[in-house]
Amino acid sequence: MIWVLLGLVACSGPESTGVWMESGGYGWEFFNHRVSHVELGVSDTEAFASIVGGTSTTGVVTELAEGCEAATCDEFPFFDNAEIELSWARATSTDTVFGVASAVLVVDADGEALTLEVPLAERAKGEPIAIIRGYSFDSFQPLAGGDACYQPGNGWLPKRMGIELGDAILSDDRRSVSVEVAGHFEAGPTFEAERQCLDAVIDRARVGLRVDVLVAVTRGEAQAIEVDDSAQYAFSGDSADPGEQPEPSMADRALSTDLDDPLVGWSGFEFVFHEVGEDRGAYLRTFSLVADVQQGVASGHATNYSPITQLSAFDYVFSGTVQAVDVGGPIERGQVSESIEVALDSDGAPVVVTWAL
């Protein structure tokens, strides 16, 4: 019996801890807006968020270069607050080894990719799984081909945007995991007379993308769950009363897994906006990714509802992959639900708000 117990102890490795984001999203308090900066995620000790939707959320007055016409490159300085919803989880296990690393890319409509090497604290044995534990899309990038009248830091209207993690591969020495990180962002037109300078350069839009990756090398079972969602909302034709955009029924967005209290997180997602009707970019009022194993829900959702400023109908097609992983230990969960002020620092960079986990 003593030898059996020693053998069982020898099979367990040192404790490893992983922290990840299960769900994350935002909504604007007053109006819909462009995408200047969207940052959501967690570190080992904090949750963080930073959301900017152009000058109509920061109140910044744009100074146009000589020769640029205000009538066709107009901005409407205003202030708005972002409502943040973020769910996080933490697990400590002797059956799973975790590792973290970040990939930084500059992406456009054609997309970019790189191979990320994620170091592990210990030699690992089992199946490696990669999930997104944080990300940022950042329009504060120079236009391809040089400057123009439109200043990209004021934001883009997304037509397509997404992140994808490839297969995770454990190294031969079992001390690191490699995973391809890919992303894309396609800007769409506004069709507004006041923003002709934006529409003129959408094919030159480039967006900074950071993807924070958590890998879990587990001896337990893992499942990849494909998620496909869509919604269409009509426009009344009256901006003062544009028509409601109700939340989808979560009964139609079920997350089904037979694993007992697994790690759940996204390993990829894509939104495609305005596939129906006019081929335009999307002003966003809300944007969310939800993976909740306790409620049994997996959903990607967005809206553009915005009395006074809404100019069109809205639709999207969403696809994503949720990873469910048996990490061999209990999982602690928490949530952040806060309203944050949009702010830029003295250098004009978005201010990131943090919450201790």
- pLDDT > 90? residue 2: no
**65-90: b or e for each residue (b if 16 or more CB lie within 10 Å)?**
eeeeeeebbbbeebebbbebbbbbbb
Q: Are 32 and 135 in contact (CB under 8 A)?
A: no
Nearest-5° angle of CA 157, CA 32, CA 199?
Answer: 25
When pLDDT is averaged across residues 89-106 and rounded to a whole number, the result is 97
Assign 65 to helix, strand or coil.
Answer: coil
Q: What would the two tokens of residue 200 be?
A: 């003129």
285-305 confidence digits (pLDDT tens): 999 999 999 999 999 999 999
Q: Could you give the CA distance from residue 141 to residue 105 in angstroms, rounded to a whole number?
A: 11
304-349 confidence digits (pLDDT tens): 999 999 999 999 999 999 999 999 999 999 999 999 999 999 999 9
Q: What is the pLDDT of residue 41?
A: 98
- pLDDT > 70? residue 103: yes
Q: What would the two tokens of residue 100 be?
A: 């973290």
Torsion angle of alpha carbons 236, 75, 282, 135, nearest 10°? -140
Q: Determine what percent of the chain is predicted with pLDDT higher than 90.
A: 95
188-242 confidence digits (pLDDT tens): 999 999 999 999 999 999 999 999 999 999 999 999 999 999 999 999 999 999 9
Q: What is the pLDDT of residue 121?
A: 85
The sign one gets for the Cα dihedral 323, 327, 329, 332 is: negative
Could you state, in order of their start, the residue ranges of all structural domains in the chain?
Answer: 17-345
Question: Edge-to-edge, what's the strand order for the sheet holding 297-303?
Answer: 297-303, 286-292, 16-28, 81-93, 331-341
Q: What is the pLDDT of residue 277?
A: 84
Q: What is the pLDDT of residue 3?
A: 45
Assign 88 to helix, strand or coil.
Answer: strand
Nearest Cα to Cα of residue 254 among 302, 295, 223, 222: 295
Q: What is the pLDDT of residue 320?
A: 98
pTM of the predicted model as reported, rounded to 2 decimal places: 0.95
